[in-house]
Amino acid sequence: SDGWVYGLPELIDGQRQRIAEAQRVANPGCYSSAVILLVRPLVDAGLLAADTACSIHALSGYSGGGRSLIERWEEPERGLFKLAHEAPYSIGKLHKHVPEIMRWGSLSIEPQFLPAVGPFRCGMRVQIMIPAKALPKTSSGKAMWEALAARYANEAFIQVEPLTDSSDADELTFDPQAHNDTNRISLRVLPHPSGHVVLMARLDNLGKGAAGVAIQNLNLMLGVTEETGLPR
């Protein structure tokens, strides 16, 4: 909206200054932050076409739905917190974060977005599946990883995981709760031998996905050190 600055400090060069000088800052959504931080540098670098039809699966702790969902999942009679599986939602409608993802991720095609709630309070894992045939000829998992690593090399709260074939991954490697109680987000590129690529982000939906980035923005607007009060 006019008069508002998008509050994702790591978005592009100059975004921090825009936030610092703003009178009104719109904090990003949790899913949106994860997807945008993964795809925007790749679109800007020509490694992912803006018209790529991305498929996104996003798993969040139930606190992401606010008080009503927290009460629903923690109600003893329902027993939802004991579920042994995730619960997809928003299947038959446009999720509110999709327009935001498209606008700030520089995507011109609406992604297929399937969010889900897990039987845990906080934590988030977002996966973007990109088929080999959708990649530009100059793109690859390795090139994508190099672009992300270079873009976020000096960012205090963004960690780009090493590029591996994930053959040694176990049940805890991709834990969505790994960054709970921090303002950290970790990004990972998972190439497949067939040429397909999975992009993954993990964060605390209430940390970097909500209150953490709000504090980042407030720090910038107040002119104090950006990391003030934020655990890594």
Element spanning 5, H or E = strand 5-6
Spatial distance between the Cα atoms of 33 and 12, rounded to a whole number of angstroms: 13
Per the annotation, the verdict on 30 as an active-site residue is yes
From 8, 19, 25, 30, active-site residue: 30
The residue behind tokens 């095609």 is 109
Task: Give the type of residue at 208.
Answer: K
DSSP character string of 55-73: EEEEEEEGGGGHHHHHHHH
The answer to whether the CB of 32 falls within 8 A of the CB of 95 is no
Q: Could you tell me the sign of the dihedral formed by the alpha carbons of 173, 176, 180, 185, in that order?
A: positive
CA atoms within 13 A on the CB side of 189: 23
Catalytic site residues? 30
